[in-house]
Structures are given as C-alpha cells and as structure tokens.
A and B are shown apart, each in its own frame.
Chain A
Amino acid sequence: MSKLVAFAAIQGGYNIVQKAEGKYKAAVEKYGPDQKLEFPNTAYYLPIIYSLLGIPVKTLGDAKKPLEVARALLPAHVKIQNHLPYLGPLLDAGMAAILAEEIVEAIRYVEDPDFYLTAEDPDLEKGKIWLGAAEDTVFRKRGVQFVDGSAPGFAAIVGAAPNPEIAKAIALEYQKRSIYVFMAANQGGTTFSEQLVEAGVAIGWNTRLVPFGPDISAAVFALGFANRAAMAFGGVKPGDYQKMLLYNKERIFAFVNALGEVGAEWAANAAGCVNWGFPTLADTDIPPILPTGVCTYEHVVPNIEYDKMVQRSVEVRGLKTTVSTIDIPVAYGPAFEGERIRKGDMFVEMGGGSKTPTFEWVTSVDMDKVEDGKVEVIGPDLTSVKEGGSMALGIKVEVAGRKFQEDFEPILERQIHHLLNYAQGVMHTGQRDIGMVRISKEAIAKGFKLDHMGVILHGKLHQDFGAVFDKLQVKIYTDTKEVEKLRETCRKVWAARDARVENMTDEGTETYYSCTLCQSFAPNHVCVVSPERTGLCGAYNWMDCKASFEINPTGPNQPIEKGEVMDQKLGIFKGANEFVEKASRQAVNNVCFYSLMNDPMTTCGCCECIAAVLPSCNGVMSVHRDYTGETPIGMKFTTLAGEMGGGAQSPGFVGHAKYNIIQRKFLSGDGGIARIVWLPKSLKEELKDKIDARGKEIGIPDLYDRIADETVGTSEEAILPFLQEKKHPALEMDSILG
C-alpha cells in the first residue's frame, strides 16, 4: 500500500517544511538576514541545496529562496478515493523535507555552535558525541576511500535498535564489509550511536561508525556527503540536479536502515532519499514499495530481521561486498584501520614510544626454503610481557614464486601497515624500521597472539597478491638483540632498493601504466603513471601499477607503450595519448606529462596536491589537501579541487602527488621545481631534505629558503617582495604564460 506511505510522507513533508519556516523566521528576527550560514570548514555551501538548486547559501537571507522552493514542492494531500497519482508528488515532498532540514541544521550551527564537535571522532569524556557535517579534510580523506573502492558504500541508520547488543552486531557486520555507517535520528530518545557507545564500540570516522546527529534532520549530513563526493570527484556541476541524483543512484551505493517506528517525518526523509536512488529497509511492518525504477531495485522493504539487515540491505542496493575471512579471534576489516588504542587500553607496545627496535621486511627466497603458511615466533611470547609493557618486533615475510620479482618486495612490504591495522584491537603506524604496533587488552582477552599477525599477513597477501607469488611464510622476531641485528641487514636492502627506484627514468622506460581505479566515480579520468611521475593520489607509483597489472591483467592498471615521443620537453607520447583518448571515453585526447600550462593531466579530485600558476610571480604554487588555509591563488585546496575534479583538463592547474614535487620530471616542461614559489609550510618541511637534494642537483642549493609559504603571505602581492628579495629563480625565467 504505497498510498499510505505517500499519505504519511506528504504529511511529514508539510510538518518539516513548516517547522523549518518557523525556525527560519525566528532566526532571521534574532540574527538578521546577514548572519553567516554554513557548515564549518566545508566547501560547497549547504551542499544539498547548492548541488541540486545551484543556490550558494552563505547567509540566513540566502536561505529564503531554497526554503521557498521547498514550500513550492509540497504537493496536495492524497485523497482517499479516486486520488491523483502520488509517486512524483511523494518524491517532491521528500525533497522539500530534505531541503528544509539542511537549512534547519545550518541554523543549528548558528544557534548552538558547540552542539556538533568538529573532529573525526567524538569526545565522549566531554560528552560531545555528535559530529555533524564532515569537515573538508575529513571529507576528502574519506571520500577517496569511496572513490578507490576501499569503502563500497554507506548505510544511513536512523533510529535505534531494540538494544545495544543488536546495534553492536549490525555495526560490526557493516564494519566487516567496510561499509560506512552514518547515524542520525532517535527512537523515543534512544539513538543508535549512543547504543554503540554503551556496548563499548568505538565510534567516529576512524571506525566508520559516524554519529551525525540525534535528529532525523541530521540525515542531510549523509546526503550532503554523497553530493559533495559527486561534485568533488564526479565533476557534477552545481544545479545539474538530474545528473547529480543519477550519479548518486549509479555510483554511490548508499541506503537507509530505519530502525523502530516510522513516523511521517521519517517517511518524508525516506522519500527524499529515494530521489537519490537510496532505498529504505526497515525492521517494522511498514508498507513495501517493491517495483523498481527510481531506485535500482526495491524502494522500501519492511520487516527485516536484525541478523539479515546487512545482507538484505546490500542486496537491495545491488552492492557486492566481501567479508575478509581471516582465522583470528578478533574482527577484521578496513573499518578497523582507523581505530586507535590509547595507552590505558593497551596491553603491549612494540616500537614507537617504547623505543624498542622494530622492522618489517618482505624478501624473496628460494621456493624450497618456504613452507607456505608457516608462522614462527622466534623469541619470547606475549606471556613474557606485563600488561602495558613493551617488546621488540621484527616481521620478516619470506615469499617465493615463479612470477615473483624483486621489484614487488616493497609493494608487499607496504601492505603490512594497513593489513595489521585492519584487525580489531591492533594498531599499526609507520613502516620499515620506524613501525609501531599496539595490541589492546581486549584483543588479548579474546585470544589474540603474536602469530596471528603472521596469519593475517599470509592470508591477506595471498588474497590480494596471490597472482604474483606461490608461497609465503612469516617469521616474527621478539628478541631485542636479534631484531637489532636483522634491522641492519634490512637497512642495507632498503638503501639498495631506493637507489634502484630513484635511478629509473621516463626516458629509459618504454612502458608506462594507466590507472583508472577512480573511474567508478570519475568516468572520464585517466592517470598515466611513469617512473618519474607518480600517481597523483600518492598511492600508486609506477612499480605499484606494474605489480597491480601482473596481479590483475584486466584490472585498472594497464601497460601503455609510450610509443613515438612527440615532445620530450612537455612529455607528449603518442601511445599515451591514444590510450587516454579511449579510456577517457573521448573526453581527453592530448596530455602533457610535464606541464601544467599545456593540456595537463586530469584529476578525479583525489590528488594529494594541486599546483597552480601564479602569473605575477611567474611561478607555480602547490598546496596539499591537509592544508586548510588560504593560498596565493585565492582558493583553498577544496575549492581548487572542486574546480578541477571529475576528469576535466584545466590548463594552469594540475593535480599531483607530494612526492612528485621532488621527482626530476616535475613540471619540467614549465621549468621544473625552480618554478615553485610557494608551498604550505607543513608540506615544505615534510619535503625539506629532498628539496635540498634537488636544489643541489639543479645548482640552487638554497632553493628551499627561497620558496615562500603562508607565513610570508597568502596572496601574490604579499609573496612577490619576498621572492624578489630572495632572488627566486622563477623571476628570471621565461614567462610562464608563454
């Protein structure tokens, strides 16, 4: 009986819009129309309104128009008999509710600025549980996971489970599938978020269990997140509501779980979500809407049992997820990667603050020296450590296989960090000889032992990289002396390895690799990765792509014969162009590897840094995504990324990896690293040693000191005198505008 849903949702739409109008009127009276209205530290204004209606709401006064749109969308109520069609009106009522709620939530930021905590995780000690709109840094970081597939989708859970245990079970099930859980609304004052806290589950962005807010209106933070992703990564233009919503339907795999009684306002929100193609699954006996069309499959599915909620939800959304099956006593999956183990919760620490030696090393050995799956703990076990204590840790992974190449060693080695982190109760940072592992008391209580780390590495590396090796065994060293001794061996190996990679050149390499991993979000975008132009996300260098291709020959990393060199200075290669044209679905037909002025490479929006021309400085600035401040180009990172994301070429701008700055081919077509006139201080410092090294190479050993940062200024006028004083090389170079 969809009619009942329509009846309720339209009623709910009226209630919500009417309340929003009341709230708006009161706010205007109290604060005046010029009061700033925003979600703090976010681009895209109020993102739903901006993305769908194209209206940038900056002040209370600006919110009047979208509120009028919401009112105008409200349809007539559904008559009992001989009623008019209601599907379209129902969806309009839902949209009206969502638009109104976004304004309500924005007003809340004015009225009660401390209601939401602007952070990645709640501060439970201070009673701050609700996170509200994701800050841009959070949004970018998490958005990338949606883009690269490490987060297949999100579940918007509204209401509360019957008890905290059920809430915990559902949340865990989503975590195992790497699906984000966005939580809003309450059921009689109880919220799913608080139930999780009560059940001892860590919530926040880091564990993918995000407590948006206690009211149904907080659902707009979930929808807003989706629309921001579509603008940032999908290149969907604000105001193109049709494209925006279809993009969501086809590419953002989200859905709603309504837990508890569904009232009129929830119905309106569910109807609103259907506009996005996000279906609702409920634990109550609400009327079903099964025919497909606006959503990919069913629109409303009621009466779901709790233990089937997750499975049924992904099916209804048409989403394929995998659960890692690693035989260890704790839960395992990407959702646990961000989990932190505080000192008080820690059973043991290896490396890090405890200063015990560590190393992590992957090395290839002869086939007959490896017994696949063997895990040895060499040295004392955890039983020798007191709670809160420390010990040394050396992890040596020995692989063998006919297809295995030495070049794959560092790639496998880099997996250790996140693979160990995925285990609930295990925290890992760093790499090589600066790694740190903490294991929580809870994990130990569940039976976690050191050899489980070996089980994880064996199982997961086989799963993800099994195509390039046949056998793998793990040796875990815990004796301090032994670890220190082996660490020396490792250091020699690493030095040789680095030298080998650094000496690879684009000229000396005939095969480059494509990366179309992000095409799920940005279907026109193609990265081409060469040895001296690492992937713009910072995650994929040439070697990674090569290995990825070996592992999955039909996957997103394909070899590209660079073919005829059409312009070595700008980096134009016939083979690469042909590939890009095809893979970008004819959107881009010429790419210069080494220039931002001429047909630069595109970005999906998940680049680590964006370089931009500063004409009056005759140079280039670059900004990385962790820097939230202003830049001399007059745009923050997010605005820049928003301008150029989605796979479009924008001359004068180019996305790149941090590491790319100190690669020799960085903007070499435009003058190279000597063109860099401004970097954020934090980025500059991070790269200091390497900038110094590159400076020496090009005969400007003090290049580092000549590059301005935000302490010098955040406008061209402000930094130009500094550059002149420092005699920055860019000022003497040919005009960058050609």
Chain B
Amino acid sequence: MSEEKKAVPEAVSIDTATIKMLHIAQERGQETIFDRAVKMKQCNIGTEGICCKICSQGPCRLPMTKAIKDGAEPDTRKGLCGASPETIAARNLVRMMAAGCASHSDHGRSVAETFRAMAYGEAKDYTIKDELKLIDTAGYFGVPTTVKEGDEEVPRDKWEIAREIADIALGQWGTQQGQMIYPRRAPQATQDRWVKHGVWPRGIDREVVEIMHRTHMGVDQDYRNLLKQGARCSLGNGWGGSMMATDLQDIMFGTPYPNNGNINLGVLAHNKINIIVHGHDPLLSEMIVAAVHTPDMIEYAKTVGAEGYVVAGMCCTANEILVRHGMPIAGDYLQQELAVVTGAVEAMVVDVQCVMENLANISECYHTKFVTTMPIAKCAIGKNTVHVEFEEHHALDIAKKIVKLAADNYKNRGQVNIPSETNKMVVGFSTEAIKYHLGGTFRGSFVPLNDNIINGRIRGVVGVVGCNNARMEHDRVHIDMIKELIKNDVIVLTTGCSAMACGKAGLLTPEAAAVYAGPGLAEVCETVGIPPVLHMGSCLDNSRILTAATEVVKAGGLGKELADLPAAGAAPGWMSEKAVGIGQYFVTSGVYVMLGVPLPIYGSPKLVEHLEVEMEELYGGKWAYDPDPVSAARKIIDHIDKKRKALGIDTARERVLMDMADRQKLEVA
C-alpha cells in the first residue's frame, strides 16, 4: 500500500535540496513527513475546532452542515452537556494558546534560571557578554544601574545588577496579582487598551493555569470571556516570557547585529564532523559552539581523521546561533529528516519543540546519533537514540561530551549525499541593530524608517513569521507572499522557519532589493545597505518585532499605539500551538494577523466573527485567513493602505520650507 502513496517531491517543495533528498529517501524506502502528509488525511471536524474531548462523555462532534452554513436551518448544535460550537471551539483554541505560550515561556524560564545561576556564580560557563543590553534590560525592570558613592552617582557592579534582574525576572512567572512588569514597554496607548479591557497579565504561569481551569468541563461557557483570557495569557508570553527570554539571552550570548550566514543542507561538510543542533533553546547549542572551538576538541577531531567540525542548526536553535555567531543553518523544520538522509550527520542534537519523533526512526537507517538533551524532552524509541542530559551548571563539559560522541561516530559514516545547495544571507536584525544601522552611533534611531514610511517610499511593515506546514507546498506560501509584499514596497521582518524559507530563496541578501523590491523600498535598502527582508531571529524573537514596532511608535509621526501603524503580521504556513499564542499576542497588541492555514474555528461562525471582527474593536488588531499567499498579501496591503489613510499619509508629503517663525514654533527636542 505504502508503495502507492508517496509524495511527489517536485510537487511538495520549491526547494531543490529538499526535492533531491526526498528522491533519495524515497529510493531507499525511507518515509518522511512529506509522504505521511499524502497518506494521512486531516480530520475535518478537528480542523474546524468542533470536537470536544475534555470529558469522558465525549468526544462530542458538532459538524457544521451545509444547511446551517446557508442559514436554511437554525444552528442548534450542542454537546452532551449542551456546549455550543462557540464554547467548544473557543475552549480548544485557548488551550492551544495556553500550550503555545507555555512552550515559549517555559523556554524563557529555563533561560531565566540559567541567567540567575550565572548571576550568582553557579554556572561558570555563562557570562555577561553584552553589558549595554544588561543596562537597557535593567531599565525595563526598574533595576538601578548606578549607586551613590558620597555625592556621586557611580556605575553599579554588573553582577549585582544581574542578580537583581534575575530575581525579578524569575519572579514574573509566579506572580499572582497586579501587573506584570514587561508589558509596560509597550506604547502608552496600547497599555491603556489592555487596562481598559482587563487583559494585563498578572503572572505568566497563572494565566496558563487559569486557561486550563476555565476550559475544564463546565467552567467558562462564554466564548468571548474565554478569548479574553487567551488574550491575557498571550500577553504574558509575548510581552513577558518570550521578551524576557530574548533579552536575557542577548545579555548572555550577545545582542545580534547583522552578519553573514549560509543556509541549506549544502552547509554540511564531507570531511568534517557534522553536528546538527535542533530545536529552540540556545542554552546548550551556545555551549556546543563554544566546545568545538576549544583546543582539546579541535585536537580530538584530528584523532578521528576529520578536518574539524560543522555545527549547523535546524529550526530556531539554528536561528539563535546564526544571528549571534553566523553559524550555518542546515535547514528548517520540514528538512530535519532529510538532514539525516544525507548520511553525513554524526549527531542530531535536539533540545525542545518541533523535534519530530520520526528522527528516531530515520536515524536508525544511518549512523546518526539522535541525541536528546533535555529532561523534559526525551524520546522512547530508536536504536540510535541517546539521552545526554543538559544541566546548566556543567554546560561546557556536557557539550564536550556530546561533541566527542559525535566525533567518535564519524568513522561509522556510510554513503554520503550532501546536496550542493547553500545560499548566502545577511541576518541578525535585532531592534538595537536596526536602530544603529539607521543612523550610526550618534544618530541611531527609528526616525529614518518612520520618515520613509511617511513619505511613502516604504508602504508599510509586515512581520512574516512562523512555521512550515507539511500540508502545503514547502516554502512556497512564504516566498509568494513575501515577494508580493516587497514588490509593493512593504518591508518584511521575518523570524523562525519563515526566515529560513527567505534565506533559501535568496531574499535575505542586499542584492535581492534591486531584483524583488518595489522602487521605493529598493531605494531605502540601497541607502541603508539592507536586504528587503530582515531576519530578526528565532520564533521566540517575535518579541523583537514588538519592541521594534514600539520604537517606531515612539519615533513619532505614525500614531500613538501599535494599532495605528501601517503594519501587519502573517504566518502563512503555521502549524504549532506556539504560532497560535504568538498570533494572539500580536492581535492583542493591535496587529492585523493573516494566516495561511485556518485556525480550528470555522465550525463556529460566532467565534469566527469574534476573532475576525469584534477583536479589532477591543484591541485594534484582528485575525484573518486566506490560503492564497498572493491574495493574502493583497489583503495585508489593503489593511496597510487603510492605516496610512487614517494617519493621513496616503498622499505625497509636501516639502516644508522653514522660515524663522516656523522655527520659533518648534517644540523642544
């Protein structure tokens, strides 16, 4: 049977490396996610969100009939307990949000724990790499950075600052009441909305737990009220767990600034030990990068006959070490099995999130060691599966142990098929880096960006982010949407697997501007020397888009709140629960969020109405869905034009010539 149902490689991806490797895997009878996606159909009721399995009296399935949809029959669907389609779909959806927020924020917690261990001198392998970011971050937490010495204010000891930050930061997960600290970084008008609608989160964990309670059988049966809690939980992640994780990682590992990188399976090397770090958490991968540069490990590689190491990333672990160290990316989420199929991977080292269990199976076909490292993320199957537990207090030693394990495996390689594809990229546009590059050390600010948005060279800003999804052609949706956007002078910010699609398509090079961008955007790119699509980091780093957007509001001329900006977000190929959590924190922050894969809500018209219409009233942002990436891009552009019109920047800006009277009226800068 399985012989008949296989993916057609040319039809499931636009990436030639992926297509090549898929052929090889299929020739060898090794099944991948692409094949399984062809074999296994999605459940229609589940995709519409109207299957309730939260108690043992169900699952209750409430399929939407054509008659209901057409209005020929009243919608009287209900579960055993009477749960309406809205309640069921809303409960399912906010549970996805809870899971997504929990994932990013739990990653954030481990970062905060490691940061604290570092600050208290218990994790010697970590240090404060970016003191400026430490000072900035102290400001966000209200931690003083100077102390009085006599009459003089002198800089405070950096470790003391770090310890205070660590204690406050870690506390944010467990606070029970009041307001979390970090959302105060948002523009005031955005904060005002949150206060008005009661969605300012109290504590990260509390909001997740409350979702689990409210969605238990027979608790919250008001879909709007459920979504309100979803919104609150999402802010705890976006403006909390994720944002803090980004900042603390930057302090420990350095804030990303633009650097050169390479992407795709071609980065793997024939004569070197290939170690893939895969997942999302940079705590271990940073140490592996450090480990392969130690003299003893360099020496060790020689003893096994290798010319050194390649540490290449996959998924967002890849983005983390790429933006900070320029380490290559082997591929995205959908390419993880194919990396093993090259036969060149000595160790597939994974941490958390988006790690396919099938890696255990496919590794068995090769010499590849599938190394799980996190106590919360083990794998029960696979002959080549090994667990080397990571522990921040002995991080470098553990990293070396893993590197050695990979080196020892080098001799076991069989046939190697590394595709030649690699693409160059410029990556690492943190909020701080964008600010610097728009004016240098002395004039760095977001004003030039705003100015060029106002004068129309740049039409708007869109974050295109999110996963790859095996239910659609690999990379296509991202690339088609982004090309349409930049062609229309919309600058694109990207993270996660979407960023990788861009990298592989050559959109992350400065040269891409002249080829793909509209004339206005191309001119700005040429002036600043940037690609038309800016790689800002991992999916956790979507928080950077929030801080960058906040800087845009603060730079002036584009409204008072995030919802005023000619901006939008899109996740054309999302698949994980994290994406739902991210999407909601963008919507709650006032952003229009376009999806290319439907949320599981379309079995409940009322819920759809709430998400796609009513939410805009509440937060200024809303959800939208369009599976056609070009049509979706057009809707995004319409939204941007609507915002431009509201700001009064839909017409050409006049040149103002100032005389003295005009100058006297200038406000104090």
Contact = CB atoms under 8 A, between A and B. Distances in A.
Interface string B487-511: 0000000000000000000000111
Given A78-B529, A88-B439, A95-B442, A293 B426 contact: no
A85 B661 contact: no
A294 B443 contact: yes
B2 interface: no
Contact of A291 (B447, B523, B655, B657): B523
A242 B435 CA distance: 13
Contacts of A149: 659-660, 663
A322 B260 CA distance: 51
Interface string A128-165: 00000000000000000000110010000000000000
Contact of A2 (B448, B527, B655, B665): B527
A319 B662 CA distance: 10
Contacts of A242: 442-443
A242 B668 CA distance: 13
Given A95-B441, A520-B666, A2 B526 contact: yes
| Highest count of chain B CB atoms <10 Å: which of A83, A85, A92 | A85
B140 interface: no
A291 B442 CA distance: 19
B524 A291 contact: yes
A253 B656 CA distance: 13
Given A85-B437, A291-B452, A517 B529 contact: no
B369 to A, nearest CB: 34
A310 interface: no
B524 A85 contact: no
Nearest to A517: B664
B441 A73 contact: yes
B70 interface: no
B658 A3 contact: no
Nearest to B261: A82
A514 to B, nearest CB: 12
Contacts of A520: 660, 663-664, 666
A383 interface: no
Interface in B169-213: none
B318 interface: no
B523 A82 contact: no
A319 B657 contact: yes
Contacts of B655: 297, 315, 318
B441 A294 contact: no
A375 interface: no
Contacts of B664: 516-517, 519-520, 556
Contacts of B157: none
Interface stretch (A244-252, A256-264, A418-426, A494-502): A244-252
Interface size of B as a range = 35 or more
A246 B447 CA distance: 11
B541 to A, nearest CB: 18
Nearest to A251: B663
Nearest to A316: B655
A86 interface: yes
Nearest to B510: A83
Interface in B447-468: 447-452, 455, 457
B65 interface: no
A52 interface: yes
A85 B439 contact: no
A250 B666 contact: yes
Interface string A1-15: 111001000000000
Contacts of B510: 82-83, 85
A555 interface: yes
Contact of B448 (A251, A292, A318): A292
Size class of the contact patch on chain A: 35 or more
Nearest to B660: A149
B243 interface: no
B658 A293 contact: no
B644 to A, nearest CB: 17
A152 B662 CA distance: 12
B438 A87 contact: yes
A320 interface: yes
Interface string A160-185: 00000000000000000000000000
Contact of A320 (B260, B426, B436, B659): B659
Given A82-B424, A84-B426, A92 B440 contact: yes
A136 B578 CA distance: 64
B667 interface: yes
B444 interface: yes
A591 interface: no
Given A85-B529, A293-B449, A516-B664, A319 B658 contact: yes
B259 interface: yes
A80 to B, nearest CB: 10
B511 A88 contact: no
Given A291-B523, A291-B524, A293-B448, A275 B657 contact: no
A85 B426 contact: yes
A526 to B, nearest CB: 11
Contacts of B545: none
6 contacts: A2-B529, A88-B444, A90-B440, A275-B440, A291-B527, A294-B439
Interface of A: 1-3, 6, 52, 73, 78, 81-92, 95, 148-149, 152, 241-243, 245-247, 250-251, 253, 275, 289-294, 297, 299, 314-315, 318-322, 516-517, 519-520, 523-524, 555-556, 585
Given A84-B259, A87-B528, A91-B441, 20 more contacts: A3-B526, A81-B424, A84-B260, A85-B528, A87-B529, A88-B438, A149-B659, A253-B658, A275-B440, A289-B527, A290-B523, A291-B452, A292-B452, A292-B455, A293-B438, A297-B655, A319-B657, A517-B664, A520-B660, A555-B661
Interface of B: 258-260, 424-426, 436-444, 447-452, 455, 457, 509-511, 523-524, 526-530, 655-669
> 6 closest pairs, A vs B, by CB?
A293-B448, A91-B440, A149-B660, A520-B663, A320-B657, A86-B529
